[in-house]
Amino acid sequence: MNKKWGDDAFFIGWSPKIDLGLARFLATCAAGLLGFVFLASFGLSAFMRDPAVVLFSTLPGASSVQTPEPWMDSPTLRGVVTMNPYPVVHVAPDADHPAGRSLLLSGDGKRGVDVPASLNPIEFEGARLLRGTIEMLVVDTPPKILSAAPSTSAPTPIALGRWRVVGEICDGKCYAGAMRPGSGLAHRACANLCLIGDVPAVFVAATPAAGAEFFLLADADGLKPNDALRAFTGQPVEIEGNIERLGAIHIFKVDRVRGL
């Protein structure tokens, strides 16, 4: 035997020191574990849904004064309103939005908004909510009707076929950023109160359908869904019906809902 003391690590119960080789091994394991946790956290966050970039960003001149964002280069927002299934304001294309914009409309609190059905442009002041492609304007009422302005045509619906999609039914105001979380069972009671108050109902698809991930919900005739829809909020569901695009928004005309 040519081995000498120190060639093999051994344990000394009363010594406060740790063997150098074991210390290096433990340090490597700890660094690797921290690196794995960091990479796993980054990977998971990269694939999570947008949690609503903006909570409330207020248009200049609105009652709830906050610092406007750079895109808000005008004190007002002008557009044509379509009424079914819920009021939506369609804004003309500009340099930042070459395809135009379609914003859901809501009033203060847990209530919808009552706007005149008019093809003349309407001028709004309010607070903007944004999550993914869902954009909502929480408006002060009554809005200003620009009756002297040139008449503007409402967008024409474009049929995109019949679909069966899995996802979740939410209220458009809270999901767009007015509350967090704005989805799931924890938010179900709040969502139903919003829907009772005529806040627009939206469907968040698990996977995109017809090129969209978020949909304004309607019944089979394109009108506001009936009250039975509230039994399915905050939980995974499968819906079936026809999808159409109206301006820059997609509408899901549902004729069948099934809980999963």
Domain count within the chain = 2
Q: Is residue 152 part of a domain?
A: no
* Same domain flag for 167 and 254: yes
Co-location of 82 and 172 in the same domain: no
CA 178 to chain centre: 10
Q: Residue 50 has which token pair?
A: 């947008």
d(CA 83, CA 56): 24
Q: Which helix (H) or strand (E) holds 103?
A: strand 101-106
Looking at the structure, do residues 102 and 132 belong to the same domain, yes or no?
yes
- Collapse the DSSP code of 49 into the 3-class scheme (helix H, G, I; strand E, B; otherwise coil) and give the result: coil
112 occurs within a structural domain:
yes
- pLDDT reading at 68 higher than 60: no
* CA 208 – CA 178 distance, rounded (Å): 24
Determine, yes or no, domain membership for 239: yes
The pTM assigned to this predicted structure is 0.72
User: Which structural domain range is residue 219 located in?
Assistant: 158-259
- Which of 5, 23, 155 is closest to 80 using CA atoms? 155
Q: Is the pLDDT of residue 23 over 90?
A: no
* Domain shared by 126 and 62, yes or no: yes
User: How do residues 73-107 score in pLDDT, each as one tens digit?
Assistant: 344 678 888 889 999 989 888 887 888 889 999 88
Task: Give the C-alpha separation, 88 to 254, whole Å.
Answer: 18
Q: Which of 145, 180, 206 delimits the end of a domain?
A: 145
Answer yes or no: is 137 within a domain.
Answer: yes
Residue recorded with tokens 């660094």: 31
Please report whether residue 64 resides in a domain. yes
Q: CA–CA separation, 186 vs 194, rounded Å?
A: 14
**3 state SS of 202:** strand
3 state DSSP class of 54: strand
124 and 185 fall within a common domain: no
